[in-house]
Amino acid sequence: MMNGIQQTVTHSLDMNEQTLRDYFSKTPDLIYCHLFIGEPKRRALLIYLNTLVDKNSINNNIINPLLFETKQIHTIADIQLPIGSKSYTTKWEHVFQRVFQGETALFLDGDDHVLLLDTQGWPQRAIAEPQIESSLKGSHQGFIETCEKNIALIRRYLPHQQLKIEETTVGRRGHTPVVLLYLEDIAHPEVLQELKDRIEQIDVDTIVNTGELMQHIEDNPFSPFPQFLLTERPDAAVSNLLQGRIVIVVDRSPSVMIGPMTFITFFQTVDDYSTRWMIASFLRLLRLLAFFMAIFLPSAYIAALSFHYEIIPLNLLLTVGESRERVPLPPLLEAVLMELAIEMLREAGLRLPAPIGQTVGIVGGVVIGQAAVEAGIVSNIMVVIVSLTAIASFIIPNPDMSESIRLLRFPMMIAASLFGLVGMVIGFMLIIGHLISLESLGTPAGSPFAPARLRDWKDTLLRFPLWMMRTRPLSARPTQLTRQKKFRK
């Protein structure tokens, strides 16, 4: 028995209908459609959730053929309907789960089998350009909340037999479909099995989005750095598939998850491979510079004013002194106050409608900064430092990495206020040590620098010409290293 309901379907249509009504109590969108079909006439029952189905498909491909085209039938297997996918079951658990997923169940009096028909048609939005990961030269199509559409977008890029798809479900209540995509001849079997094992161990009510799944399967949940890449771009997902990584698609989520990843991959974009290699290399170095500025610029300001003012050129020191003449706060409180103001403006801009959010971000920053300087709360130099830091954090292409950098900024400022440059060095060493020890699905996040893999350096801080990158990165642990043949001297 399952919650007072027997596990298998019976031959009696009346008993089956009563079981359905007991289980689906207080479910007004569940439709019961009674039919008389075949010769001689036999009673049949069609049930579906009105909010999750395609009503035209039910009327044209199920009800009309059943009433006007179905002849003599002995069992439910004799019923032939012009519909794409169908299956049979005798277990109530399968019936309930499929109905909640938008399928239609057909019961026939005198038969203990149920015909499940694919009639899914829930509301969904059209494919549009990604809102977060914009691209100048890449595709302008982004993932949406429907798993099948997301898989179709990937298949358009990789119409190949080696692209394998494995599906499972997560959650006792939600039964969220989770799909793994990988290239069978490239992806490492051990990495794939490790990922499967971690997903199977998840025991929750449901998974609402990809971010929740990532937190359940990441190697180090206490690390501030992301260990999986979340992307809304099909071309980015396919690029990682070709390197030997695995793509995880979660139904009802507009982004997919990719692993295993390394630290340096969060600073790379699809546009890097669409532009000249010199331009792409310059932009990557710019992002790396932005990484250090976003973390260390406020702390360097605090350390220089609190402990090491002798390293500041005399003319600049006089300018800073004049700027701070009316400021009553120590450098740490001054910096923390402005950083918190910037973070609040950023959050306010995200929560408000787009036109208003942009106005609040720009006008609010200008007004608050100018008012704070005129009131003598902060100095002009501090406003410049905070503005440069905010701009540097915007340059980081991955939102998760950008948020991690914004968080690390505050402990670095505290360390600089306590120990000066020594505190900054200690903080930097702790970050490097943590990155070296961090793993993603058993793959070192510090690769290809720690451990050193010189072959992979062609696509890290600098991006060499594409014709020189003939092998896949070892950090992805591919089973097939060669991805292109040498065609230039």
What tens digit of pLDDT does each residue of 243-254 get?
Answer: 999 999 999 899
Cβ-contact 415, 427 below 8 angstroms: yes
**How many whole angstroms separate alpha carbon 254 and alpha carbon 144?**
4
Question: Do 105 and 94 meet the contact criterion of CB atoms below 8 Å apart?
Answer: no
Q: Which residue has the tokens 């809102």?
A: 131
Residue 309 tokens read as 């003012």
Q: Coil, strand, or helix at residue 319?
A: helix
CA distance 300 to 133: 31
pLDDT at 488: 55
Q: Is the pLDDT of residue 483 over 90?
A: no
Q: Three-class SS of residue 98?
A: helix
Q: What gap in Å lies between CA 76 and CA 2, rounded to an integer?
A: 25
DSSP classification of residue 351? H
pLDDT at 44 over 60: yes
pLDDT digits (tens, 9 = 90+) for 381-415: 888 898 899 899 989 999 999 999 999 999 999 99
pLDDT computed for residue 361 by the predictor: 67
Give the global pTM. 0.86
What does the DSSP 8-state code read for residue 357? H
Sole residue written with tokens 């069609």: 46
β-strand partners of 439: 444
Residue type, 408: L
pLDDT tens sequence across 443-482: 999 989 988 888 889 888 899 988 888 889 888 888 888 8
- Total number of residues shown for the chain: 489
Q: Are 128 and 44 in contact (CB under 8 A)?
A: no
β pairing state of 30-37 and 42-49: antiparallel
| % of the chain beyond a pLDDT of 70 | 96
- Band (pLDDT 50/70/90 cuts) for residue 127 is confident
Instruction: Retrieve residue 489's tokens.
Output: 């001297």
Q: How far apart are CA 428 and CA 245, in angstroms?
A: 30
Residue type, 227: Q
pLDDT digit string, tens, across residues 252-292: 899 999 989 999 999 999 889 989 999 999 999 999 999 99
